[in-house]
């Protein structure tokens, strides 16, 4: 039994990249005792000033009540749990709950769930929607799957990470929810790139077009917070093209397995793969607008406009 409140629950965190670090800060601000492991130790040490403790290896977190993991790929999740110095390699102890917020395949998740069960650890799959700025604004959302009773116990801990967590069912179904979400993300940003370039070729500024779109019924939180990237060509990465390509691969594999045709997603996946092949691997995935402009014979320049991403305090 886990009593998820700051005074009673010790937390471990594996993976202090941009997203992981932002989420650790949320837990520290909520008063939780958090120890952090990251493959590059310096990134974990950046959290010490905020109150975190640094762990040398994932296994050093085995005595924590709840451990979160947020790593890049399926192989990384298997490595930090069952590899050398992994979380489940201490014969004497293991956490009560592992909450994995990585975007990995359902098959990899099921393997880790089985290893966790051998150690008496319950696994919740809890992938997230957002980026570090979304986390800082308190607007992160999560989907969770696994044993319902375990979810109910740790929900206060998950609630501390953002504005809402949705329990979507047993087993690995949260993985499918997140993969479907990210496929939609890729389709939407490609569509936004296409219509924005279309409007600009017809003589409409990107700022004016996005202002109209965001105020319409087709506007969204996503279109709003991608507005500065599309208007001012600021491609500081929040989510890179190789990661988006990976999620398209996972989504299309799931579609094949479930016999669910995805023609629009398939077309978008090819455009993303083409952009990666062209070397667009470090920039934010909104850089797809430059690829779309290139194919359209248009050279984009920043409009240097004072546009909001809608995430600052006080924004609607």
Q: In the chain, what are the domains? A: 10-171 (3.40.50.720), 176-295 (1.10.1040.10)
Phi, psi of 211 (to 5 degrees): -60, -45
pLDDT of residue 1: 55
The rounded distance, in Å, linking the Cα atoms of 14 and 291 is 35
Chain segment 93-114, per-residue pLDDT in tens: 999 999 999 988 888 889 999 9
Q: How many C-beta atoms lie closer than 10 Å to residue 161's C-beta?
A: 25
Instruction: Record the tokens describing residue 218, joined without a space.
Output: 């087709």
pTM summary value: 0.87
pLDDT of residue 311: 84
Instruction: Record the tokens describing residue 8, joined without a space.
Output: 């009673």
The rounded distance, in Å, linking the Cα atoms of 208 and 172 is 42
What is the mean pLDDT of each successive set of 10 residues along the chain, which is 316 residues long?
73 95 96 96 95 97 97 91 96 97 87 95 95 89 96 95 94 93 97 98 98 97 95 94 94 96 98 96 97 96 95 54
310 torsion bin: left (phi>0), alpha (psi -120 to 50), beta (else): left
pLDDT of residue 167: 98
- For residue 37, give the H/E element and its range: strand 33-37
pLDDT of residue 4: 65
What residues does 165 pair with on adjacent strands?
142
CB-based contacts of 79, cutoff 8 Å, min separation 6: 86
The rounded distance, in Å, linking the Cα atoms of 122 and 115 is 10
Instruction: Record the tokens describing residue 143, joined without a space.
Output: 């989907």
The rounded distance, in Å, linking the Cα atoms of 232 and 206 is 9
Contact 153, 132 (CB under 8 A): no
The rounded distance, in Å, linking the Cα atoms of 194 and 293 is 8
pLDDT of residue 316: 39
**% of the chain at pLDDT higher than 70:** 97
Is 67 in a helix, a strand, or coil? strand
Among the options 96, 118, 139, 178, which is catalytic?
178
CA distances from 206 to 198, 307, 311 (A): 10, 11, 20
> Exposed (0-12), middle (13-18) or buried (19+): which is 118, by Cβ within 10 Å?
exposed
Whether 178 is a known active-site residue: answer yes
């Amino acid at each position: 039994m886990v009593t998820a409140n700051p005074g009673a629950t010790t937390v471990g965190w594996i993976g202090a990249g941009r997203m992981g670090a932002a989420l650790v800060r949320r837990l520290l601000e909520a008063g939780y005792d958090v120890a952090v492991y990251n493959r590059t130790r310096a990134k974990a040490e950046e959290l010490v000033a905020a109150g975190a403790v640094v762990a040398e290896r994932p296994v050093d977190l085995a005595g924590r009540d709840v451990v979160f993991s947020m790593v890049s790929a399926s192989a990384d999740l298997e490595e930090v749990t069952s590899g050398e110095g992994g979380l489940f390699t201490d014969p004497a102890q293991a956490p009560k709950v592992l909450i994995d917020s990585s975007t990995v395949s359902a098959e990899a998740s099921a393997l880790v769930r089985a290893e966790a069960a051998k150690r008496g650890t319950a696994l919740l799959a809890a992938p997230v929607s957002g980026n570090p700025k979304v986390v800082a604004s308190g607007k992160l959302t999560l989907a969770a799957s696994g044993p319902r009773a375990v979810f109910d116990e740790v929900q206060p801990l998950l609630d501390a990470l953002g504005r809402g967590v949705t329990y979507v069912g047993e087993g690995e179904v949260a993985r499918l929810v997140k993969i479907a979400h990210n496929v939609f993300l890729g389709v939407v940003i490609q569509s936004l790139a296409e219509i924005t370039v279309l409007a600009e070729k017809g003589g409409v500024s990107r700022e004016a077009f996005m202002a109209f779109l965001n105020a319409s019924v087709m506007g969204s939180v996503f279109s709003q917070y991608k507005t500065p990237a599309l208007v001012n060509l600021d491609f500081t990465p929040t989510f890179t093209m190789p990661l988006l390509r990976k999620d398209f691969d996972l989504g299309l594999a799931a579609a094949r397995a479930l016999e669910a045709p995805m023609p629009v997603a398939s077309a978008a996946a090819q455009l993303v793969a083409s952009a990666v092949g062209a070397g667009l691997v470090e920039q934010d995935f909104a850089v797809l607008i430059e690829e779309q402009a290139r194919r359209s014979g248009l050279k984009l320049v920043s409009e240097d406009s004072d546009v909001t991403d809608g995430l600052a305090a006080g924004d609607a």
